[in-house]
Structure 1
Amino acid sequence: MITLHKIEGKILVEFPLTLQNREMLLGTTVSEISDNGNALVGQKIKKLLHIKFALRDSVMEMREVSNFARRPIFSTSKDESIKEAMKKGIGEPVMEGFKVMAYNAGSTVVVFDMTDFGVSNNKRMAIFDPYGKKTFDAEVTALNAETSQGNQLGVGLANGKFFVLSLKTANLGEILGDPDKKEFERYYQMNGRVFDIRYRFRYSNGWT
């Protein structure tokens, strides 16, 4: 059985070597949340990863077993040499490598750190619904959408951050829920607290 340890903000995995090369599913599920606009309890935002772990030297590799984006290769040949050649063309890519930190006394269990993979900004382990509402890291203190074309939204935060969001697509939820869409969002950092917004954008030959 795999055991997880949370120590000083790190996620350490205690992994029995008997589980090497065993196929597993890995993903994230929301167990508790303060705002259902971001995700629902029990919701899985991303598809589960079909993986296996294998130790190579002093690194525990996480390998991708299946991915629909990869083109499968099939053959009805019974020739063993052809089968061996095909295996070399459909190898399991290494998704991540985790340096082994420790072994148990009998060298049957290893410990490695999965903090960066599990709790960093890893799109494969996303916990917020990309079609949910936009989340900010501080209280919203000012809003302004007073442009003649109605396609810009200014958002001021209590920590001095100022966002300009574009509303030019049909799927507004997708824009507001995906901060990686840089072409739809501009961000500014200012000192102090944003309490009001007055801005304008050049449109054609005039100003809005």
Structure 2
Amino acid sequence: MSKIVLASGNAGKVLEINELLSDHGIDVIPQTEFDVPEAVEDGLTFVENALKKARHAAKLTGLPAIADDSGIEVDALDKRPGIYSARYSGEGATDTKNYEKMLAELKDVSEEKRSARYWCVMVYLESENDPTPIITQGSLEGRILTAPKGDGGFGYDPIFWLPEQQCTAAELSMEEKNKISHRAIALNALARKLTSKMI
């Protein structure tokens, strides 16, 4: 079985990625199992940050690596917070502090102007110096509510309304979320490219 390191210690991500790739003889192992510290995410785009994380994990483990970088962009905030989504509210940022800051910034914005989307970029590197990484991306359209709703998910999910599903991302079951999420779309695209490369 081929082994790939995931540039994350997130158990949910590891499970999700393994479910998609295990049928293809690929075993995904979190970087925490190799005591790999977090990479410095100082890129200016999701692609740059994902590449930095994958290269860091590949360098320290000698294995091929997968990494993702994701965030939310809000049209009324000039596409912010984007790559800064996880630390939007500054030092000691938490999910709740982040979305409360967003709600405060949007308090005078009308419903029809609260459009937003989640983005995810996934990267695969065969080695630290791989000159041709596989890069895929996925997005999920929605809009920002005026107050949180639902207690599932994480990040901005409680204020991210999905018009088609008529609920917030925090009200979706994990199974439903894994079918439509920005990460699922990017990951499925990556899985297709990876498996065709390995055949």
Structure with greater proportional helix content? 2
Structure with greater proportional strand content? 1
Structure showing greater radius of gyration is: 1
The two structures share one fold, judged by TM-score above 0.5: no
TM-score, length-normalised on structure 2?
0.29
